[in-house]
Amino acid sequence: MKWQRAVVSGVVIVGLAFVLLVFIPNLILSDITSVERSGRVALATGWFVASLTGLLWGLRRLQSRRVI
């Protein structure tokens, strides 16, 4: 039963990381046309850094509580 939970946790974490770190920055770069390219790059970079920081913090909290 523990390995099933680990597999599900891993799939959820990888999926969430993909959406936050790849998919949304790509949407920012390609779909926001009212902002110049440098502005879109700044927005995407800010989103990436904030998302990565949040993921790292959240994963560390889950690990310290022995959830993952």
| Res. 67: pLDDT tops 90 | no
Average pLDDT for 53-64: 95
Which stretch of 2-6, 9-13, 56-60 has the lowest confidence by average pLDDT?
Answer: 2-6
- The number of distinct structural domains making up the chain is 1
Which bin fits 52, alpha (ψ -120 to 50), beta or left (φ > 0)? alpha
Question: What tokens does 42 get?
Answer: 């700044």
Domain region containing 33: 2-64
- Burial (Cβ within 10 Å: 0-12, 13-18, ≥19) of residue 1: exposed
| Confidence (pTM) | 0.87
